[in-house]
């Protein structure tokens, strides 16, 4: 089963990389860009056929390793 995990900083957490890209885009005259937030995506293949079990297992992976839940939110998606 293919699982996609999207991880992004929580609202209100400073994103210096996003700010740098936003500034660079404005410098290149892409002035329509109002804000930039950087996120990461993890795509994994796991051996599980039950979607609920897979989501629970991947959520445990996120809580223990993949995401810093103090400053990041994550979303788990089953790829179809």
Whether this model's pTM surpasses 0.75: yes
Q: What is the CATH number of the domain that holds 25?
A: 3.30.1280.10
Give the separation between CA 3 and CA 10, rounded to whole angstroms. Answer: 22
Tally of domains within the chain = 1
Give me the domain span that covers residue 15: 2-78
Report pLDDT for 38: 97
Phi/psi for 23 (5° steps) reads -60, -45
Tens digit of pLDDT for each residue in 14-61? 999 999 999 999 999 999 999 999 999 999 999 999 999 999 999 999
Report pLDDT for 29: 98
């Amino acid at each position: 089963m293919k699982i996609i995990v999207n991880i992004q900083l929580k609202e209100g957490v400073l994103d210096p990389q996003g700010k740098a890209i936003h500034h660079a885009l404005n410098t290149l005259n892409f002035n329509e860009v109002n804000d930039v937030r950087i996120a990461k995506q993890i795509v994994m293949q796991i051996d599980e056929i039950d979607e609920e079990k897979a989501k629970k297992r991947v959520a445990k992976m996120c809580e223990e390793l993949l995401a810093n839940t103090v400053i990041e939110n994550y979303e788990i998606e089953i790829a179809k």
